[in-house]
Amino acid sequence: MMLPPIPGPLRAPLDRAIEVNKAALDLIRQSPPWKSVFRNPYPNTDENRALIMFNSFFLHIMPVKVKRNTLKWNYTFGMGLLTFYLFVLLTITGVFLMFLYVPSAERAYQDMQRLGTNVAYGQLLRNSHRWAAHLMVLFVFLHMCRVFYTGGYKPPRDFNWVVGVILFVLTLLLSFTGYIMTWDQLAASAITVGANIGAASPMYIGGLMKAFILGADDPGPPTLIRVYAFHVILLPFAVFTMVGVHFWRIRKDGGLSAPAIGRKARQVIVPSTRGGFSVKDIPPVSPEAPLPVPPEEVRR
Amino acid sequence: MAKEETVVQDINPKDPNKTYGLMELMKGRAPLVDKGGPEESLFSWPHLMLWITVVFLGLLVILVGISWVFDAPLREPFDVDVPENPAKAPWYFLNLQELLLHMDKSLAGVLVPTVVLGALMALPYIDRNTRDTGIWYGTKKGVQITLFTTVYTMAWITAGVIFDETNIYGGFLRLLPGLQDITVPTGIHLADGRLALYNVSLATVVAGWLLPVVIMVGLIGLLMAIVEVRWKPNIRERAIALFTGFAVAYLYLIIISMFFRGLGMHLTWPWDLPPNAIPF
């Protein structure tokens, strides 16, 4: 959209205002407090774009540059990112819910009701925690399918796939323990089915599993308190740790999976004489000849 | 790239056999040598930062929107002595609950999930060919195998679920006289502080273990045989057949258990479901 030209009499004061504004911003950006927080200038040059990524605590998990492929919506559908965001939102809403919920068999159900009647935005808080939990299970599954169908589990990302499978199981357990905490009939059905599955373990492990899940012979108050401990501390801590490993391995394994090279068949990446890599055509030998393994795929 | 015109003769003497000229001037704040690189990389700031921010805000809006419109369920207070009918697990465990209806609970609840998770974790150590990393389905054959396996899995699960609901199955077991009378030890357990043997009738073993295992292994074997003959697959395409079978079974069993299981977990149409039959 083109702005109409600024009429003559206004131009001078406007320019002046912009100048003052710039000077004020510069003053702030040159001030010791600003510089103590932001360790490099605004990232509008390539150098500063690189610096901001490794100088910031929050950004340094991400690389300075990403493959174009990483940002293609129809390559990842953003499902891993969405899963992580849902976990963050669940942590935040979960902490608020902890202020409002007592994990005792006498009070839990009433606390759930009070969220809808006596707490400002309590129902919205509970709704968002509930739906985010369901969505997280869904997205973690879809993310696994995406990684599988794009071949993202292949080396060097093989171990990270295993970490992902563990995270899938942890997510299910996290969601399941939360499901029990409403202490309504849905929870009763769930814990009954869950305890039956645990009790089905072979040999005498079954009995131990059932006791471990229920904390008693039948679902009751001891069940609720152990489900609570798992849900608010043990499992989130495990997920948080494994997510850390998962993300760290993405970096170490060379970023998100991508087609080997600039995507022309029968090309290969070779180390360049100037350092770095360059793309070279492979002379057609025979149609069956295997492609050499590109160096970027070699485990670092 | 911009080529320097002023050449310092001492260091870079002109080659008399070559001609020199200014090729092109480009605007830029940094040298553009190898810009993009072999993988066409982009700066995380602003490209990645922009998108992860947009995705977060979008998710937040959608989540608050859903939470504003739909209330989370809260049923009657917890009472295991008065179970709901049907009593269903949360949706992501409904596939296991569906399996429990068709086989021994140790097999459905422990052995099958353990084998599936073990196979998932073993996958990257079996398929280690990185040539087609990063390409959806790898090849055209991969797409065809995915579609075929989806139809194959859904068809057999539908058939199996209906077959198990009919009397044919029970009648078939009754055809084998004497099975009820023979007992076999299937495990040990603690009874009064001592190890004791579980004794189970042979009919239970056949119905709960033998037939389900034979059917599951047989159907997976048949799938792999068809894929092998029809597509001559490589290792990744075989993995696609197996994984698709798992993923489709995972979701399809959830759908059956959630929408087609009514009173007493018997098969019914979704519109005939009793109230509260969907665990939401």
Regarding whether A273 and A217 lie in a shared domain, the answer is: no
Regarding whether A226 and A97 lie in a shared domain, the answer is: yes
Model confidence at A261: pLDDT above 60: no
Measured distance CA(B121)–CA(A295) in Å, rounded: 25
% of chain A with per-residue pLDDT over 90: 57
Q: Which range marks the domain in which residue A283 is found?
A: 267-297
- Tell whether A114 is covered by a domain: yes
Cα A226-A229-A230 angle, rounded to 5 deg: 90
Regarding whether A276 and A248 lie in a shared domain, the answer is: no
The pLDDT tens digits for A94-140 are: 999 999 999 999 999 999 999 999 999 999 999 999 999 999 999 99
pTM comes to 0.83
Radius of gyration of chain B (CA): 31
Whether ipTM tops 0.90, in short, is no
Question: Is there a contact between A182 and B45 if contact means CB atoms under 8 Å apart?
Answer: no
8 Å CB contact between A90 and A132: yes
- Tell whether A152 is covered by a domain: yes
Regarding whether A179 and A136 lie in a shared domain, the answer is: yes
Dihedral sign from CA coordinates of B150, B152, B155, B161: negative
- Tell whether A14 is covered by a domain: no
Model confidence at A265: pLDDT above 60: no
Q: What is the structure's pLDDT at A54?
A: 85
**Average per-residue pLDDT for chain A:** 87
Model confidence at A281: pLDDT above 80: no
From chain A, the residues in CB contact with B48 under 8 A are 62, 66, 70-71
Q: What is the structure's pLDDT at B7?
A: 46
Question: Is there a contact between A189 and B46 if contact means CB atoms under 8 Å apart?
Answer: no
Distance of CA A116 to the CA centre of its chain: 30
Q: Which helix (H) or strand (E) holds B118?
A: helix B112-126
% of chain A with per-residue pLDDT over 70: 85
Nearest-Cα distance to chain A for B51, in Å, is 8
- Tell whether A275 is covered by a domain: yes
Q: Which residue of A has its CA nearest to B81?
A: A188
- Tell whether A117 is covered by a domain: yes
Q: What is the structure's pLDDT at B250?
A: 97
Regarding whether A136 and A248 lie in a shared domain, the answer is: yes
The number of folded domains in chain A is 2
Helix spans in chain A (H): 8-30, 32-37, 46-55, 73-76, 79-100, 108-117, 122-149, 158-180, 185-199, 205-214, 221-229, 235-252
The pLDDT tens digits for A56-95 are: 888 999 999 888 888 888 999 999 999 999 999 999 999 9
Chain pair A-B, CB pairs under 8 angstroms: 281
- Tell whether A262 is covered by a domain: no
Regarding whether A152 and A87 lie in a shared domain, the answer is: yes
Q: Which helix (H) or strand (E) holds A67?
A: strand A65-67
Q: What is the DSSP track for B49-92?
A: HHHHHHHHHHHHHHHHHHHHHSPPP--SBP-TTS--SS----GG
- Tell whether A91 is covered by a domain: yes
Regarding whether A274 and A219 lie in a shared domain, the answer is: no
- Tell whether A237 is covered by a domain: yes
Nearest-Cα distance to chain B for A46, in Å, is 7
Question: Is there a contact between B64 and A189 if contact means CB atoms under 8 Å apart?
Answer: no
> Chain B within 8 Å of A219 (Cβ-Cβ)?
yes
Measured distance CA(B143)–CA(B141) in Å, rounded: 5
> Chain B within 8 Å of A69 (Cβ-Cβ)?
yes
Residue A178 belongs to domain with CATH number: 1.20.810.10
**Closest Cα to residue A104, out of A234, A230, A231, A228?**
A228
Q: At A287, list the tokens.
A: 């149609």
Q: What is the structure's pLDDT at A222?
A: 94
Regarding whether A122 and A247 lie in a shared domain, the answer is: yes
- Cis amide linkage into residue A236, ω under 30° from 0: no
How confident is the prediction along chain B (280 residues), in pLDDT tens digits per residue? 555 555 444 556 677 788 877 777 766 655 555 454 545 788 898 899 999 999 999 999 999 999 999 999 999 999 988 989 899 999 999 999 999 999 888 899 899 999 999 999 999 999 988 888 888 998 899 999 999 999 999 999 999 999 888 866 666 666 666 666 677 776 666 667 777 777 777 777 888 888 899 999 999 999 999 999 999 999 999 999 999 999 999 999 999 999 999 998 999 999 999 988 888 8
Query: CB pairs under 8 A, 24+ apart, for B32-36?
Result: B32/B1, B33/B1, B34/A276
A287 pLDDT band, cuts 50/70/90, is low
Regarding whether A281 and A178 lie in a shared domain, the answer is: no
Mean pLDDT of A12-33: 90
Regarding whether A154 and A83 lie in a shared domain, the answer is: yes
Distance of CA B112 to the CA centre of its chain: 14
A263 pLDDT band, cuts 50/70/90, is very low
Measured distance CA(A242)–CA(A19) in Å, rounded: 50
Q: What is the structure's pLDDT at B271?
A: 93
> Chain B within 8 Å of A72 (Cβ-Cβ)?
no
First to last CA, chain B: 61
Question: Is there a contact between A45 and B80 if contact means CB atoms under 8 Å apart?
Answer: no
